[in-house]
Amino acid sequence: MATDRPDHEALPVGWGRWLLGLLPSAAVFLLLAAVAVWGGRTEWKFGNPFSPGESAGKDKEREDRRETVVTPGPPAPAGGCPLHGTRIRLAAPDVAGRMGLQVAVVESRPLAAVVTAPAELNYDETRLARLSSRVPGTAIRVEKQIGDRVRKGEVLAVIDAAAVGKAKTDLLEAITALDLAEKQASSSADSAKKGAVSGLQAERDAAAARQTQARVLAAQQALVNLGMPVDSSDLRKLTPTQQAERLRLLGLPTEYAKGLEMRGGSDNLIPVSSPLEGLVVERNAVPGEVVDPTKVLFAVADLNRIWVAADVRSEDADRVAVGQRLAFTADGHPGESLTGSVAWTSTAIDPRTRTLRVRAEIENPAAHWRARTFGTARITLRAEGQPATVIHPDAVQREGECRYVFVRLDETTFEVRAVRLGVRGEAAARPQDGRAQREARVEVLDGVRPGESVVTTGSFILKAELLKDQLGDAD
């Protein structure tokens, strides 16, 4: 017969089941805790967990197999190079060959300091004329083509312009009016002396004559502004018919005017003439075309002198000055060069290219060189003189404001040496094939001495080793 038990007697059975259910979770928790403790002790270096000494031994073995060991130098003074005195030791002499390191001896040579810059040939702007018609009109004759040589004053084109005819008419009318006004003023002055007219009337007539004289001068100046110089006093000595004939082909060269006179035609003609002797390098006019002062019809250039425009790097800008020698070599023509001197330097750095525009004026005999030719400009900052301590530019590395080189102390040891640099230029090298050779070099003012050996090719590899060591220290 079953007997009922109180509820509190069943509790031990329920707790036991609950504890049995927690066992898997507790086991996982304990395992994770053990892994965390092991990782903290071994710095998560996965090796044999049952033999921690084996992992440490492999780390030491890898450390022993490193090909370079970096030893920091003494603390740098304030403002000094922090890398100065640092040494890099190679594990064996053959490591240098595997790393591709090459060394060169620090030398003492005469150094010519030069700056190189991309450059372009351009027309000499002081010997280049861009010609337009002075007034709107129609091109009735075009005399020259691109490539034609022209003399100073030679006619390139003739424009038929109504404004020219009006200016001539205004001058003739003003001269006629002046003749009449002066006669009237003279007559009034004589009459005033005789008492026939008042003195006031005589003064008015004299004032009218002076006003008409100003009108003549204004009409004369209008023709001068059009490039047609004329003397009104000479015209007044001629008859009205002669005056009109004198003005009809005003401004045209005599021989050219005779040819037009035989053909007849308009009296409204104004020439487009060359102001200099040179070559027609641009032509934008055709007969019958309507033209105005805004359109360039011809460009004439004197090619006996040409400009070289060079764009010098901003870091070299302070070293370039007017008067320095400049040599231009065109792309594709290394054996030919133009030489001259710097005539102008810009007062500002170009905001887009961050370069300084420099210009040289160079003689161009027989117009051999052509404008818009690209090439390289070499500006001599200092001619070869006293010997200087020089190294190859590849030897110099930079870290912030610090410039340094790697000096070889022995077959396996290299020392970082901070250097103070001078000018960059070219030094004479040993002649090859009977021709003098020049090599790029940089002057060293302090830090190394002639006879010491510095790393040239591969110096950036040693710099990388320094950076790796610094990153390792940071970790």
For residue 254, tell me if it sits in a domain. Answer: no
Minimum mean pLDDT range among 200-214, 249-263, 449-463 = 249-263
Residue 251 falls within a domain, yes or no?
Answer: no
Q: Are 356 and 406 found together in one domain?
A: no
> Residue 193: inside a domain, yes or no?
no
User: Are 378 and 408 part of one and the same domain?
Assistant: no
Q: What is the CATH number of the domain that holds 346?
A: 2.40.30.170
Range of the domain at 406: 68-102+386-474
* Total domains, the chain: 2
Q: Which is nearest to 38 in space by CA: 48, 29, 28?
A: 48
- Taking only the tens place, the pLDDT of each residue in 17-75 is 666 667 777 777 777 777 676 666 665 555 554 455 555 555 444 444 567 888 888 88
Q: Are residues 394 and 372 in the same domain?
A: no
Give 64-114 pLDDT, tens digit per residue.
Answer: 456 788 888 888 777 788 889 999 999 898 888 989 999 999 999 888 888
Per-residue pLDDT for 145 more than 50? yes
> In the prediction, which pLDDT does 436 show?
54
Share of the chain above pLDDT 90, in %: 51
pLDDT tens, position by position, 147-164: 999 999 999 999 999 999
Asked whether residue 404 falls in the same domain as residue 456, the answer is yes
Lowest mean pLDDT among 9-18, 337-346, 380-389: 9-18
- On whether both 359 and 316 belong to a single domain, the answer is yes
